[in-house]
Amino acid sequence: MAEHFIAEGLHYRVAGRAVINDVSLSLAKGELVALIGPNGAGKSTLLRLLTGFLQPASGCCMLADKPLDEWPPQTLSRHRAVMRQQTRLGFDWPVEAVIAMGRAPWTPRPEPRLIAQVMEMTGCTPLAGRQYAALSGGEQQRVQLARALAQLWCDGAPRGWLFLDEPTSALDLYHQQHLLRLLKTLTASQELHVCIVLHDLNLAALWADKIVLLHNGRLVSQGTPAAVLQADDLQHWYGAQIHVGQHPATVSPQVFLAP
């Protein structure tokens, strides 16, 4: 499996404006990395650059020491999966068929046992038989996570690089906790490596191994949650009045808005 992912000097412009400005970072084996930052910081754009859906004006992304654009698409799809903020389908398929789409890089044959295993892992089993378009936003997010994990499934587990753009935005508390616990468990196996955009700083603090903070397209801070989530720094970059304390059950920092 490809164990190294490096981005070097990424630049990207839209209508003459620098959306990503000289961003370099490395993603290590078995890490859950959270991308954070205020609105317009460039988080989603950076994720699309890291996954090869956008081409940088300059700089490059390297997976296993090879530029992304030199990977054959089918081979890359076996190593890298993406869950976007919203996925609108041009057809109305049942949940199982949508999840099975993730297996396209591997086989054209149905794999009901594998799909059932992924559905159980992601809490999608109660959605079996339902039409995707009839699901709530949160239910659709769970199905898309299952599809992405199915895409990376190899030798009995998801293996490779998983990129997620705000996958908890439509989830209730239980499913936020379930999703992030699952990703943390899978990354601890050293076989799945996760890069996730999160708006909720406290979720990032609880589950991320490393946090990358963006502001106006620049990488302004990166490190452990305790190193990045400093009150003065967050007030500077977010412009909000905040307090930083400690989670009552862990050593994780927690961010509170000032009244």
- Answer whether 226's CB lies under 8 Å from 244's CB: no
Domain that holds residue 147: 5-257
* Sign of the Cα pseudo-torsion (31, 37, 39, 41, in order): negative
Torsions phi, psi for 149 (to 5 deg): -70, -35
Please report, for the domain that includes residue 152, its CATH number. 3.40.50.300
Contact 185, 179 (CB under 8 A): no
Torsions phi, psi for 170 (to 5 deg):
-110, 10
* Residue 198 phi, psi dihedral angles, 5° rounding: -135, 135
- Residue 85: the pLDDT is 77
The confidence score (pLDDT) of residue 66 equals 93
Number of structural domains (the chain) is 1
Please give the pLDDT value at position 29.
81
Parts of the chain with a pLDDT under 50: none
Backbone angles phi, psi at 65, to 5 degrees: 65, 20
Query: How much is the pLDDT for 125?
Result: 97
Is 44 in contact with 54 (CB distance < 8 Å)?
A: no
Which tokens sit at 209?
Answer: 């191994």
